[in-house]
Amino acid sequence: MLVEPKESAELWFCIHYLQSRMIYVTHDQVEAMNLADRFVLLRDGIIEQRGAPLELYERPVNKFVAEFIGSPAMNFIPATLEVDDAAPCVRLAGGERLKLPAARAGEFAGVNGLQVLLGIRPEHIHRQRDGATKENYEALPIKIEIIEPMGTNTLINFHLGDTSVLARLDAYANEQPGAELTLLIDMNRAILVDPESEKVL
């Protein structure tokens, strides 16, 4: 069933109050996230992933799903996976090393030196306050290039190597373009993508 956006309020009523099962076709991910109990994400008629909305958001199976779900879109940063006796990490083009949670070491056994894309959502990048860090958060000094106040939050743009990266911070960002800032990357929420197959490792 194809339902126009103007009819989504009536659809929501049918689903939640009449307990009706309905198939809703939309290109609007916000509508889909709000209305759906289950997702089936298609590309060119092929099912890319199916599951609950948060499952696709948190555990996408490939780069297409990761990019499609979420706004602003996920950042993808070229990196090298380094695996040794300690926690695995990714090394960025500029030499920065970001540790992955030690619990994930088993996932990457035997793939030391693999070229990957580090996937980080803008909302999983935070401002470091008073030098504090959290478990499995990695500090990353950056230089702000563009600031976009959005009311409820602020978007900042910066570069890591040749890659433009977007972070969504709280609304009270006082920094200006050109300012240096230390960010915390939530590596608990990071994904690694094989750049050739575009599948999530």
**pLDDT tens digit sequence for 158-187:** 999 899 999 999 877 678 899 999 999 999
pLDDT at 102: 85
Characterize the bridge pairing of strands 46-51 and 75-82. Answer: unpaired
**pLDDT tens digit sequence for 104-146:** 877 777 778 899 999 999 999 999 886 667 888 999 999 999 9
pLDDT at 143: 95
Counting Cβ atoms within 10 Å, is residue 12 exposed (0-12), middle (13-18) or buried (19+)? middle
Omega into 72 within 30° of 0, i.e. cis? Answer: yes
Whether the Cβ atoms of residue 139 and residue 126 lie closer than 8 Å to each other: no
Q: 62 or 52: whose pLDDT is higher?
A: 62
Domain ranges of the chain: 5-68, 75-193
Region 54-58: mean pLDDT is: 91
Query: Which CATH architecture best describes the domain 75-193?
Result: Beta Barrel (2.40)
Identify the three-state secondary structure at position 105.
helix
Tokens of 27: 């290109």
Predicted model pTM: 0.83
Identify the three-state secondary structure at position 33.
helix
Residue 68: name the closest of 83, 53, 81 by CA.
53
